[in-house]
Structure formats: structure tokens, C-alpha cells
Amino acid sequence: MIVAEQHPIGRIAVVGATGYLGGRLVAELLRQGFGVRAVARSIEKMRCRPYAASPGLEMARADACREDELTRALEGCSCCCWLISTAGRSDDLDRDMTAAARSLVRSAPAASVSRIIHLGPPERKAAIGSEAEGLGTASVGRILMSGPVPVTWLRTAMIIGSGSASFEVLRYLTERLPVMPAPRWARKPIRPIAVSDVIRCLAACVGSEDASGLITDIGGPEILSFRDLMDLYADVAGIPRRVILPLPLEAKGLSAYGINLVTPVPFDLARRVLEYIDLGSPLPQASSRGPLDLSLTGVRHAIETALRKERRHEVESCWSDAGGLTPPEWLTCGDAGFAGGEVMDCSYRILLNCPPERVWAVLSSVGGRQGWFFGDILWKLRGFLDRLLGGVGLSRGRRSARDLRTGDAVDFWRVLLAEENRRLVLLAEMKVPGEAVLQFSLNPQGHACELIQVARFLPRGLSGRAYWYAMAPFHDALFKGMLLGIAQRCGCSALEEPKPFRGGGEVCRLPEDWGRRT
């Protein structure tokens, strides 16, 4: 193994290190002996990644839209891999993506970065050689090329891999729809590529300065349509092929809405996936492109690998990983007045005749297929209502049924903190008139364990207060039932019935430097 600091290429910055591709690329570069600086908005999320303890790794917190933060994060790096995800949770993702790209154009030369490697979607044809396209994600590559630092720009339409948004769309549509309407986008020829090959292409470009300035589409060895992929997936999964009904329409908006209802992928991301498929190039990869002259994985094998990893709970990253963690201010300041209103509280405690480790093993499996320990029909109803309102509902499930880490999506919650055997803090991402947090805390009591469940809510206006008081009777029954359900799953007895708990605000408070600790 080459010592990271002595690698001739120098230290590599991976911006977007907690995203779907960023996390996988960091691990691969470390495996190859590169010195890597992982850059993301949340140190807490990076700390929980498998690569966090690697000796060749540095971690830096930076908001890519803030030029000063990005410049500091890139200093001392010879190459920057720009993997800002298109799956984030921003209200105006295109604006943020292009603002971040312009920030890099100024930050890279200031930090003496000599190369930029960018992976993006296919480019809209109207944007070629023109600035008239505007601020779409397809123009990010053009923005990066406008700066003085040479750019390697790889473009791909569809990635096949466990946890990718496009693979989730393929999987759920094939498994859940016996009859699939196929608009024109579903019949367009593309070259889907295995996620492992995407990572290999990126790593090859990092390792070869000859790739500087290369602009090309990357894809797998086969030309297929989405319709073909559904047939292939059905064969691999051992289910009947679906009936495909060709439609003489594009219908990307209507299709995205249908995908939002059938799959875990939300409407905006679903539409983006369909746009990439529609823009994808069926042209084969040229074999003379130096570092990208690689042996590529067949689509069948890529699907088999993705399904095998999901069955074994070995999914390294997921599309829902993307985005920063922004806890409510009242979780760190502990001052309801500063937060802007009264924080509502519903808290219960129970004493269990077992150690915290045993309780954590059950608690950390919450959500997804395991459910919520009690009242699953109520959780499903709340998830259904959330989907009708345009939210994510319960459809996202979990990245892994066994492993839980900061930043993971758990149904319509986001893990703010997962401290093993101590506490689990979840931030609500459902449609709700306010900010909501659910926390479980474990306190050892001799040979027993005190389990505290705290729900806190900062209402937004009268609608928020009305929502809280309307849900209060359900909360009492639900939370008591959840605590008893956890005890039952643990196989241990409750030494007392669930009782109201005072002091939920103190229990829920996060450290003031949460998310900034290095």
C-alpha cells in the first residue's frame, strides 16, 4: 500500500462525500492508497461512514455554495472530485447546484487545485456551445469549464446499483406494476452503467493526469431501453415479465407522478431521472480514451449484484443519503424563545429489566420493514396522508435493516444522531406545520435500563398548534404502546408501566457544536 501523503498525484478532495457516489469513491480512493479529504456539509454524517477511521483520510466541513468555506476545504489538494448530488432536499436544487459550481470556479484556483473531475447527467442538446440553456443541472459542467482549472467531465444517464435512484425506480415499477404503460422515454435506447464501473471510471481519471480536459459520456457495454431493463430485471428477480403498453406520448411529468406513488423516489427526483434517461446517449464508449479503456460490467450482472447486496443488507450508500443535516435551532440552544415559539412536548419513560445494549439492538432496527413497534396501521395511514400531500411518506424505508447511522433516512424521518447504546434522534421530514423531533434515550440503571421517548414539536402558526392538539390523544396511546412494544421485542420484562416524563427539552438538547466538530 502506498503511503497516502507520498502519493505522486497528491491529496484528492471529494466534495459531496456523504452522497450516493461520493461515499463510494472516497472508499475506493483510500483503498488505492490516495490521500483523501472528504468534504461535506456535515462532519457528523462523515464520522458514521465506514471510511471514517481510515488513516489516509481527512474530513472537512464546507457548504459548497460558500466560497470561503470551500476554498479552505480544498487547500492542499491537487485534484477535486465534484460529486454534488442531484438528489438533495433543497427547495431550488438547480439554483443551488449552479451557485455551488460558480463557487468552485473561484475557489479551485484560489486553493491551487490543478484539476477538477465532475460527474454529471447528459447535457441538454440546446446547451451545447450555448449559454442560452440557463441554470439547469446540465449546465454545471459548462460553468466549471468556464474557469481556469482543467475539467474532466463524465456524463451518464442511468446508474445500476443498490441504492441508486434510477435502480429504485426500475425495481419498484417492475415488482409492483403487472402492467406498465411505456411512454416514449421508456423506449429510448441508452447505455446503463453499473455503479462499480462509475466509481472505477472516476478513480481512473483521478489516477491519470492524461484524463485532464476529457469530456465524454460513459455507459455500459449494452444498448437497452427502460422497457428492456424491466424485462431483464424480472428475469433476474425470478418474477413474470410485465405487460408493456406502448404510449405515443412523452408524459414525463405524469410518469414522475406515478413513480412518486409507486416507488420511494419523490416526484422532483423521479422527473430528473426520467430527463436523464431521455437525454442519454446510446453511443458506445470509445476504446481509445486512455484511462477509461476499462472492461465494463454487463447489465444483468449489475442487477444481480445490486439485488444480492440488498438481500445481504450490504448497501454502502443510498440516493436518500444526499443533503445536509440541519437540526432545529431549539435542539442546540435550548431556548424556546430564541426558537421563535413554544415547543410542545410529549414524553414517556419505562424501566426495562435488561441492559442498554439489548434495547439498542431492537431500537436501532426501527422503521422500514420492521415497523414502529406498535400501531403500524396508524403509521401507514400517516404515511399515506403524507404522500397525498406531496411528502415522502413511509416509502423510503431504510438503507439497511441492520445498520443505522447519522444522516440515514428512516421512512419519513432523518437520523440526526445515532449514539450506540445511548440515544437515537430523528428529525421529521413529513409534511407537517412545524418542526418535529423524536428521540429515544437509554440510561443504565444497575442491571436494568431506563428508556425515555421524547416527541417535541415547534408549531408554525395556528395550524401547527391545531395539528399538535388534534394529534395529542393519539400520541399518548401510541408512545406508551411503542415503549411496551420495544420491551416485547427485546424479550425483557417492564419493571413498571410507561409513565409521563418531565424534562424532555434537556434530554433532547444537542451539543452546541453539533455538525461542526472535527
CA–CA dist 281, 138 (Å, integer): 14
Q: How many CB atoms lie within 10 A of CB 238?
A: 7
Nearest-10 crossing angle of helices 252-262, 165-176: 80
| pLDDT computed for residue 129 by the predictor | 40
Asked if the model's pLDDT at residue 322 lies above 70, the reply is: no
The CA-atom distances, in angstroms, between 307 and each of 166, 171, 215, 238, 304 are 14, 9, 32, 12, 5
How many Å separate Cα 143 from the centre of its chain? 25
Task: Check if the beta carbon of residue 448 is closer than 8 Å to that of residue 467.
Answer: no
For the ranges 41-50, 406-415, 419-428, 489-498, which has the lowest average pLDDT?
A: 41-50
Q: Are strands 179-182 and 434-445 parallel, antiparallel or unpaired?
A: unpaired
* Contact present, 490 and 312 (Cβ < 8 Å): no
Residue 290 pLDDT > 80:
no
* CB 348, CB 480: distance < 8 Å: yes
Which of 30-39, 269-278, 495-504 comes out lowest in average pLDDT?
Answer: 495-504
How large a percentage of the chain has pLDDT more than 90? Answer: 51
Top pLDDT among 133 and 361 is at 361
Q: What is the mean pLDDT of residues 35-61?
A: 87
Q: What is the mean pLDDT of residues 311-327?
A: 75
Q: Are 365 and 401 in contact (CB under 8 A)?
A: yes
What domains appear along the chain, each with residue ranges and CATH number?
A: 7-321 (3.40.50.720), 330-508 (3.30.530.20)
Sequence-distant (6+) residues with CB within 8 A of 317 are 19, 20, 21, 22, 23, 24, 163, 399
Distances in Å between the alpha carbon of 494 and those of 84, 439, 484, 499? 47, 20, 8, 12
Give yes or no for residue 310 having a pLDDT over 80.
Answer: yes
Strand runs labelled E in 44-148: 57-61, 77-82, 115-120
Q: Is residue 453 over pLDDT 70?
A: yes
Q: Are 171 and 164 in contact (CB under 8 A)?
A: no
Specify the pLDDT at position 518.
41
Residue with the bigger pLDDT between 332 and 263: it is 263
pLDDT of 125 > 90? The answer is no
**Three cell numbers, residue 31:** 483503498
Question: How far is C-alpha 488 from the geometric centre of its chain's CA atoms?
Answer: 32
In contact, 181 and 245? CB cutoff 8 Å: yes
Flag whether pLDDT at 21 surpasses 80: yes
Question: Which residue's entry shows cell 431550488?
Answer: 92
Give all strands (DSSP E) within 109-150, no chain letters.
Answer: 115-120
- pLDDT tens, position by position, 376-388: 998 999 988 888 8
Angle value at C-alpha 352, between 350 and 358, nearest 5 degrees: 125
| CA separation for the pair 190, 193 (Å, rounded) | 10
CA angle 310, 315, 318 (to 5 degrees): 110
- pLDDT given at position 468: 92
The x, y and z cell numbers of residue 411, run together, are: 421512512
Bridge partners for 135 per DSSP: none
What burial letters (b/e) apply to 344-364, b meaning 16+ CB within 10 Å? bbbbbbbbbebbbebbbebbb
**Average pLDDT along the chain:** 85
> In the chain, what is the greatest distance between 2 CA atoms, to the nearest angstrom?
72
